[in-house]
A and B are shown apart, each in its own frame.
Chain A
C-alpha cells in the first residue's frame, strides 16, 4: 500500500512516517504543499493520503476538493491543528474520510489509519 504524506512540516511527516512504518507500511511518498501533492498524487496513485490544512502555495482543503473532483475513492485523512467543529464539518463536506487533530498521540494516529483503511476496504468489497 502506497501512502502520500502532505504536510509543510518535515518534522510532522517524519513522525507520521515512523508511525506508519511501525504499522508495517514502508511505501511512503511525501509532499510539502498542496501543489506538490497534486503532482505526487497523479504520478504515484497513492492508496491513502494524509493532508495538513495550513500549507503554503495550496492549502489542504483546496487539495481535498481538487482530488475529489477526479477521485471519490482514495481515503483521505486530514491531519491538522484546525480543531473547530466548523472546520471538521467543512473538511468532511469536502470529502475527507477521517480527521486527526494535532497535537496527537501516536497511538490515536495509528488507530485512525487502521480505522480508515478498514472502512475503505469494507466499502470497496460492498461496491
Chain B
C-alpha cells in the first residue's frame, strides 16, 4: 500500500472523533503492519470496492470502545448495550466515508459496517493488500486504525501527510 494513502484516513479519523465525540486525536507514526494481527476487543470494519479495494478497521479495547460509544451516543453504552456495535460501526463508516472523499477522481464504494466483539481477537485480511497501522490517542483511550487498500488507478490528487499533524 502506498503510504501517501494513509493521510486521508488520519484526517477523517481526527474529524470524526472531534465532531462526534468532542475529543481531539493525537496521531502516532503510521507503521506498515508486519507479522501477527494486532489483538483488540472490538473491531469496526468497513470494506472498499470499486476503483480501490481493501478495508479500514478501527481496533479498540472494551474500555475505550465503551467510553467512545457513550460519548458519541450521548448516553451510557457498555459492551452489552444493543447499540454498542451500531455506534462503533457508524464511527468506522464516518472514517471510511471521510477518507474516500480525499481520493479525487476515484469511484470508491464503501460497505455497510461489520463489528467484531470479543476479547483479544484478531482480524485477518488478504495478504495481497499490505496494511498500515495508525496509532491514535484521545481522552477516551488509545485505539488504532488499520488501513489496507489497493488502488486500481492513482487518484487525481491527494493531500500530503504533513498536513495532518501526525507525528513523524
Chain A positions near chain B (C-beta within 8 angstroms): 8-12, 14-15, 18, 54-56, 80-84, 86, 101-105
7 chain-A/chain-B pairs, Cβ below 8 angstroms: A11-B83, A12-B90, A14-B83, A55-B112, A83-B100, A102-B97, A103-B16
**Nearest B residue (CB) for A86:** B107
- Bound together, the chains give a CA A54 to CA B90 distance in angstroms of 11
Q: Give bound CA distance, A104 to B107, whole Å.
A: 23
What is the minimal beta-carbon distance from A103 to any residue of chain B, in angstroms?
A: 4
Contact between B101 and A9, CB atoms less than 8 A apart = no
Contact code string B88-126 (vs A, CB < 8 Å = 1, else 0)? 011001101110110000010010100000000000000
Known: A14-B75, A103-B94. 9 other contacts (CB 8 A): A9-B87, A11-B90, A81-B93, A81-B94, A81-B97, A83-B100, A84-B101, A103-B16, A103-B19
Q: How far is the CA of A54 from the CA of B20 in the complex (A)?
A: 19
Given A9-B86, A105-B19: A14 and B73 within 8 A (CB)?
Answer: yes
Interface range for B? 20 to 34
In the complex, the chain A residue whose C-beta lies closest to that of B113 is A9
Q: Known contacts A9-B89, A103-B20; is A83 also within 8 Å of B83 by CB? A: no
Report B-chain residues with C-beta under 8 Å of the C-beta of A9.
86-87, 89-90, 93
Residues of B within 8 A of A56 (CB): 112
Complex Cα spacing A105 to B94, Å: 13
What DSSP secondary structure best describes chain A's contact surface? loop
Assuming the contacts A81-B97, A84-B100, asked whether A103 and B15 have C-beta atoms less than 8 A apart, the reply is yes
User: How far does the alpha carbon of A77 sit from the alpha carbon of B107 in the complex, in Å?
Assistant: 23
Q: B35 an interface residue at 8 Å Cβ cutoff?
A: no
In the bound assembly, the distance between CA atoms of A10 and B20 in angstroms comes to: 15
A24 to chain B, nearest CB (A): 19
Cβ of B72 within 8 Å of any chain A Cβ, yes or no, is yes
Structural contact, A83 and B101, CB atoms closer than 8 A: yes
Q: Flag if B83 contacts A10 (CB, 8 Å).
A: yes
Contact call A8/B112, Cβ cutoff below 8 A: yes
Which residues of A are found within 8 Å of B74, using beta-carbon distances?
Answer: 14-15, 18
Query: Contacts A15-B74, A54-B112, A103-B15 hold; do A81 and B86 have CB atoms under 8 A apart?
Result: no
**Contact between A15 and B112 (Cβ–Cβ < 8 Å)?**
no
Contact call A81/B98, Cβ cutoff below 8 A: yes
In the docked arrangement, what's the CA distance between A68 and B166, Å?
45
Known: A10-B86, A11-B86, A83-B101. A54 touches B110 (CB 8 A): yes
In Å, the complex CA distance between A83 and B82 comes to: 28
Q: How far is the CA of A103 from the CA of B100 in the complex (A)?
A: 14
- Contact mask for chain B residues 60-88; partner A; CB cutoff 8 A; 1 contact, 0 none: 00000000010011110000001100110
Question: Per a CB cutoff under 8 Å, which of B73, B86, B94, B112 touches A102?
Answer: B94
